[in-house]
Structure 1
Amino acid sequence: MASQPAVLVINSGSSSLKYAVVEPRSGKMVADGIVERIGDGPVGDHGAALQEAFKQLAESGQPLESLGLVAVGHRVVHGGPDLYEPTLVDDALIAKVEELAPLAPLHNPPALLGIRVAREALPDLPHVAVFDTAFFHDLPAAAATYAIERDVAAQWQIRRYGFHGTSHQYVSEQAAEYLGEPLDSLNQIVLHLGNGASASAIAAGKPVDTSMGLTPMEGLVMGTRSGDIDPGIITYLSRTAHMSVDDIENMLNKNSGVRGLGGEIDFRVLHKRIESGDAAAQLAYDVYIHRLRKYIGAYMAVLGSTDVITFTAGVGENDAAVRRDALAGLTGLGIEVDQRRNESSDRSARRISADGSRTVVLVVPTDEELAIARACVDVIED
């Protein structure tokens, strides 16, 4: 049973619905789960998926009415140029998010489905949208602006929006708290490395650059996304290979990155393949690390001096080899990883740099659900 007010956090995808019940004050995760294969089998649509989530909660001894829910929080990936504060959901907000679908065709439509079915199922609770792009809304113009024809960019709202903002903000705040330092005294690099991956440079608590751009495809090599590529590749494939725009987009989103190079997105499997002598797996890993090191170096230059580098998310928190190789040989830049600390099985926030390292290196578990829950409470109590 929830002993404090709780928030139901919903992250709705095209074929899955993740949910969590979080106590914002204590930070306690009361329950969490996922309903998958929506539209395939007994879970016919997102409405059925939400009812299945409620059923799972009841079967675990936590029926909805016992949870003390005060709000429902929705992760929305793209807020465009105007939606950057956690916002109470109403019909006008839904219309605005719907207008942004072309900027995030894989993410915003499923989020809207989740919002609609949740409002129908829980009409008496306030619903709050929390935007993945919000943290990066005020990027410096030099970082946010693409060097394309100015009028075209303005007409079609083309700029660097950045993503994983909830995670980058939460982790940078947790890093400062761990170090016992004021947030505004630190220059930080945060590396959110999961199936989706992004980097950010944060000065005095404010982001000054981030690797994802107009869409979540730009930047680091990811599980299935290419990250940075020469844009000429797209026109070349269109003209020469006669691939459609949809085919190219599908390839870059779903069949590129580590999977495209090595045939696998699970780094545990990838490491085993490398150990067995699989050259494709080795190349996939090498490309991944090379791109990651480039961004770390670039952001050190952007910041001028770097106090702390933090790894987070699935790969960042759990893969000691990735952390080791991303920072190997950087003692001249003031970065030295302690092997024993890096390979520790500890899963809490921890330091993995050597005592003499000028730049502190941390591993900090992200908690986007808690961050969203707290943002919801801030909105409804305002």
Structure 2
Amino acid sequence: MTPLARVSTPRPLPAEQASLCTVHLGYLLMLIDSLRQDGVDVEAAFGADYLRELSALDPNTRRPIEEWEALADKAQAHCHRDVALLMAEFVKPWDTGPIGFITMASHNLREAAESLAQFYNLLNDVYILQAQLINQRFEIAMEPLSTHHSPCLERLTLATICWHARWLSRRADLRFDVHFAFPQPDATQLSALQKTFGGELRFDTARSTLLGPAEYELLPVSRGDHGVQETLRAQLMAEMAALQDASTSFVHKIERIIQPRLSTGEVTLDDIAAEAGVSVRTLQTRLEESGLNFRTLLDRMRHAQVLMYMGDLDISLIDMAHMLGFATQSSFHHAFKRWTGMTPGAYRKQRLKAGISNKGAAN
């Protein structure tokens, strides 16, 4: 490996130039660690002072996405491998803290993907993840939260999910098709992407998406203690709430308005726009800029919330439907099956069988 030339210390862009999107400090530290493991002299590359500055920061610090991208660009200029794919192979589930542990505590790849999608914004607020079954294929799609797009972060995220799925399921033969929102790269990078994912690659698509056969989602995970899942989920929910309270993202602002209204069923486009202080047209436009619409956002919030309710056996399925604002039990069942491929009752029985909760039975 050719050592990196010494470069100036990366710094965040001025506020007026930055996208205001952030990544967890771990992205920068893991990039540096993966380069070090690959034989790069990181002190010569980035400067000892900058490395000390990063190591002294609070572990939960957020840094501008531009700072991480600058590090990746400087590294890429001197690396033979795609830096994002190098990181993806280096990062193990436990490197992402509680998020990684909750995927390890999942029963199958579907639960692991759902948990990652639910808490992905603890890692960055550049994208959200959507995990769903579509036409007998399991898809994990990246939706931007702003106008900022990061091809490097997209490659890192989807490649990491790919490697972790193989590791969690003990199935090194898993192959994934991928649709990328960026143009087709040069032959070297294209070959590296094909080697990583193993399936069909498409480029210049509407959004970056990882796709696999529906049967992948039922592959069991046998890497951790399933009994700690609810404890981890409660911890991550608290962290997500704190993050969203402090976030300036328009999507997070709308989520904060919707959340207390879910149980009442009074979540209308007009009411939410009024409380947000914008017109309905502006609300729709701002959400569309993030690849969302109002119905999709509401659906995603219900999906995330129902996973928490499933862990509390004091909440019956009937009460669950009401608490999510569904007008009828049948509409709740239909939505839940669309989200997970299972009925609410079957999903809960699976959790009980695995011994997730020892509370009393639910209706």
Report the TM-score, using the length of structure 2 for normalisation.
Answer: 0.28
Of Structure 1 and Structure 2, the greater helix share is in: 2
